[in-house]
Amino acid sequence: MRTPTHTLHASQSHSGWDRSREAVLSVPPGTTIELDVADASGGQLGPDSVAEALTDMDMGRVNPTTGPVRVEGAMPGDALQVRIHELRPSGWGWTGLIPGFGLLAGDFPEPTLTHWHYQPSGSEPAAFGDVARVPVRPFPGTLGVAPAEPGPHSVIPPRRVGGNLDTRDLVAGTTLWLPVEVEGALFSLGDTHAAQGDGEVCGTAIESPMTAVVSLDLEPGAAPAFPVFETVAAPRDVEVRDGVIATTGIGPDLMAGARDAVRAMIELLGLRYRLDPPNAYMLASVAADLRISEIVDAPNWVVTCAVPKAIFAP
Amino acid sequence: MRTPTHTLHASQSHSGWDRSREAVLSVPPGTTIELDVADASGGQLGPDSVAEALTDMDMGRVNPTTGPVRVEGAMPGDALQVRIHELRPSGWGWTGLIPGFGLLAGDFPEPTLTHWHYQPSGSEPAAFGDVARVPVRPFPGTLGVAPAEPGPHSVIPPRRVGGNLDTRDLVAGTTLWLPVEVEGALFSLGDTHAAQGDGEVCGTAIESPMTAVVSLDLEPGAAPAFPVFETVAAPRDVEVRDGVIATTGIGPDLMAGARDAVRAMIELLGLRYRLDPPNAYMLASVAADLRISEIVDAPNWVVTCAVPKAIFAP
């Protein structure tokens, strides 16, 4: 574990990417920094919030990222190496169905909100009522650098330069390489999740304020075309223990296949664990993995939605 | 482990699905059967074959499936429950780049063939030259029932009724539920793989002749919309041990994202392990997992291609 030499607070944040934004910190390559991060609502939701707050949310304030951090000497074409040393979650988080957002937005028009309270150490899984216990595996949903293209860019879509990757593997111990597109790189981090399944199907994970410790280094001229990462341990230990239950979607369109697989999982969770559809959808978002199981047997592909059985109460 | 009461030989096979095909065996629900399966070339390739044999292959004979087996009393709307008890691979297999086939067919016009020799017990991983050792995790790539629609249907695309699912999770111990669409179900199994990554990106896995033991049972009126399965142990133990290296593809089209992620993995395997592109592509097909890491942050999705580091020689 590296000891950070700089700290950024959650107030030192912005929403969206812009190469003209002034850095809040400038550091030489090899520096370790600590970043406090607000939850994805930007503090609009708290432990006492109710579902209606999702409808009233100011979407211009969502997904704030702490930064940007200028890395001295970073030039377009370099790789920014981000080492994720530590994530210290707050112990509270939320998962919500936001009207108009998520893979099955048309199926779930009503705002729905679940609160999670968990051990920040990760020593205990997070309880989803008395139905399931989801392992705490904190990671930053958003980490990226400024795109070369001038002007403001929404924080929501991930990009070649990273950003809102929402990739559950990026836990502590992971190294991520991002392509630098502007002088100084301009790195920011936000959208911290206490747990998420591949796909983040309902659009929200366990959204938790968190402190992240990362170090930033440069590999000159080594920019990858898209982000690349290396992990040191798997995020799928619960799956190994007891196996999975999985649904599939099969057809010529991966998006339709993903929707079919998730719809089938929502139905299955209802039958097996008496979860109503909004709760099944939220649980899938934080614990189910979407995989492309087959993508070569034209014209049909197989998308799988797999839930580790170890999360369910015996 | 159930003891089979019937045996089908690899000669009792067919290519493609057709509800009018006569069953080679008729059994009551709850029967356990043993099926010998030819490799995906239908015996056109053997341990002495060279790459040119891929170009000359009669595609009308590929992917033979042993069967069909009629399950007495099966009616449209029922679920056929398939329990996979045992897979006994032969110890030899092949992986090939077949011109015009695979996720990156345009990038790899030349036929290329790799032979694998491994311990049939699975006690040792299968060696890929001196670069990598791939755990043997045998499963049937194809298992399905006849579709309701009359006439012949290609064996290549997977369907709502299963078929060429190429889903690596379906190892021994797994239970699979398929929707019955015709009287008697007409179950067949083939395309046995000694190992495969999610996606089977080059279009072939470790293609191995194998014997499968499955039992077939019925759940009246319980047909799922698409296949559903449940596993008892994870196929990803090597990932848990040492983590993964992963590439990404990011953009508004999942297929393009998958191609970008696989292209990046081929480049990375070349840089790290000095694999030429055809060998990197084949190794990715048998050992890399394609995942949809994010599918809600419109308009861009994240597809990840992850290779477990434990497969590489130290």
Residue of A nearest to B98 (CA): A296
Of A166, A202, A302, the CB nearest to B293: A166
Mean pLDDT of A166-195: 96
Give CA–CA dist A284/A108, Å, rounded.
14
pLDDT single digits (tens) A10-43: 999 999 999 999 999 999 999 999 999 999 999 9
CB atoms within 10 A of CB B175: 17
Cβ–Cβ gap B248/A165 under 8 Å: yes
Cβ–Cβ gap B260/A292 under 8 Å: no
Mean pLDDT of A144-164: 97
Find chain A residues with C-beta within 8 A of B237's C-beta.
240
Of A103, A158, A248, the CB nearest to B302: A158
pLDDT at B199 exceeding the cut of 90: yes
User: What pLDDT was estimated at residue B122?
Assistant: 87
Closest CA to B85 of B194, B209, B5, B173: B173
pLDDT single digits (tens) B81-103: 999 999 999 999 999 999 999 99
Identity of the residue numbered A150: P
Residue B284: which pLDDT band, with cuts at 50, 70 and 90? very high
DSSP string, B57-108: --GGGSS-EEEEEEETT--TTPEEEEEEEEEEE-SEEEEEE-TT-STTGGG-
DSSP string, B12-69: SEESSB-TTSPPSEEE-TTEEEEEEE--TTTTS--TT--THHHHH--GGGSS-EEEEE
pLDDT at B113 exceeding the cut of 90: yes
A302 close to B167: Cβ distance less than 8 angstroms: yes
Cβ–Cβ gap A233/B248 under 8 Å: no
Closest CA to B188 of B143, B138, B139, B141: B143
**Closest chain A C-alpha to B25 CA, distance in angstroms:** 28
Cβ–Cβ gap B293/A199 under 8 Å: yes
A155 close to A149: Cβ distance less than 8 angstroms: no
pLDDT at B47 exceeding the cut of 80: yes
Task: Give which of B255, B291, B307, B311 to mutate to test A binding, by max A Cβ within 10 Å.
Answer: B291
Residue A178: which pLDDT band, with cuts at 50, 70 and 90? very high
Q: What share of chain B is helix, strand, coil (3-state, %, to 5)?
A: 15, 35, 50
pLDDT at A237 exceeding the cut of 70: no
> Tokens 């308009």 identify what position?
B299
Find chain B residues with C-beta within 8 A of A302's C-beta.
158, 165-167
The DSSP letter of residue B2 is: P
Give CA–CA dist A131/A273, Å, rounded.
7
Identity of the residue numbered B61: R
Give all strands (DSSP E) within chain A, no chain letters. 6-8, 13-14, 25-27, 31-37, 65-71, 79-89, 92-97, 112-117, 126-128, 132-134, 139-145, 162-163, 175-179, 187-193, 210-219, 228-230, 244-251, 289-294, 301-308
Mean pLDDT of B287-302: 95
Angle, CA A305 vertex, CA A302 and CA A306 arms, to 5°? 125
Find chain B residues with C-beta within 8 A of A191's C-beta.
none
Find chain B residues with C-beta within 8 A of A309's C-beta.
230
Cβ–Cβ gap B166/A296 under 8 Å: yes
Find chain B residues with C-beta within 8 A of A239's C-beta.
234, 236
pLDDT at B76 exceeding the cut of 80: yes
Between A and B, how many CB-CB pairs are < 8 A? Answer: 241
Residue B234: which pLDDT band, with cuts at 50, 70 and 90? low
B56 close to B154: Cβ distance less than 8 angstroms: no
H or E element at residue B273: helix B254-273
- Burial of A118-149, coded b for 16+ CB within 10 Å and e otherwise, reads bebebeebbebeebbbbbbbbbbbbbbbbbee
Tokens found for residue B96: 């090939």
CB atoms within 10 A of CB A221: 11
User: What pLDDT was estimated at residue A109?
Assistant: 96
pLDDT at A157 exceeding the cut of 80: yes
Give CA–CA dist B191/B144, Å, rounded.
12
Mean pLDDT of B175-186: 98
Mean pLDDT of B164-169: 95
Tokens found for residue B232: 């008892």
Residue A80: which pLDDT band, with cuts at 50, 70 and 90? very high
Residue of B nearest to A245 (CA): B230
Residue A166: which pLDDT band, with cuts at 50, 70 and 90? very high
pLDDT at B237 exceeding the cut of 80: no
Distance set, CA A148 to CA A71, A160, B57 (Å): 16, 11, 49
pLDDT at A1 exceeding the cut of 60: no
Of B236, B260, B294, the CB nearest to A166: B294
User: What pLDDT was estimated at residue A235?
Assistant: 55
Distance set, CA B249 to CA A162, A169, B58, B148, B193 (Å): 10, 15, 35, 37, 27
Give CA–CA dist B226/B224, Å, rounded.
5
User: What pLDDT was estimated at residue B195?
Assistant: 95
Give CA–CA dist B290/B247, Å, rounded.
10
The DSSP letter of residue B5 is: S
User: What pLDDT was estimated at residue A239?
Assistant: 66
Residue A236: which pLDDT band, with cuts at 50, 70 and 90? low
Predicted TM-score (pTM) of this structure = 0.93
Residue of B nearest to A236 (CA): B240
User: What pLDDT was estimated at residue B205?
Assistant: 97
User: What pLDDT was estimated at residue B222?
Assistant: 96
Tokens found for residue B155: 């064996």
Cβ–Cβ gap A258/B261 under 8 Å: no
pLDDT at A233 exceeding the cut of 90: no
pLDDT single digits (tens) B241-282: 788 899 999 999 999 999 999 999 999 999 999 999 999 999
User: What pLDDT was estimated at residue B2?
Assistant: 79
Residue B235: which pLDDT band, with cuts at 50, 70 and 90? low
